[in-house]
Amino acid sequence: MKKIFSMLSIAVALAACSQPKNEKAPTEVAKSEEVATSTVPKELAGNWFTPHAAIRNITFNADETYEFALGDSTKQKGKFSLKNDTLTLVAADNTVTKLTFTKGKDGDQNFYIKSLNDAKSTEYFVKSN
């Protein structure tokens, strides 16, 4: 009985050694390469919300797409681009919204997104993650 158990253990060990190495699936490699080549700054990518009205929020993705929860249960989706400190959102219906993406001043290390379309607006977004 011991002999059979020993032979069985050796066979299992040999079979485990001959298994191919666990490699990433092609889609996983493509995703990681896509993220690595993204031009979206890490400070911008992620979730942003308006203080005291978090139902209004924007998510910026590494593939330069966004989703904007407008606060009235509707969502706007589209593409965005960043040139210097101007953040341009182009919705699926071709509506263009211009925002600023700036770092705080006087030692404030946070980033802020504010409206460029409406100079009187005091609304701004802060990053949540």
CA 50 to chain CA mean position, Å: 18
Mind listing the pLDDT tens digit for each residue in 33-88?
444 456 899 999 999 999 888 888 999 999 999 999 988 989 999 999 999 999 99
Say what the pLDDT of residue 6 is: 40
Answer for the pair 46, 114: CB distance below 8 angstroms, yes or no: no
Give residue-wise pLDDT tens across range 19-33: 444 444 444 444 444
Would the pTM of this model clear 0.85, i.e. be above it? no
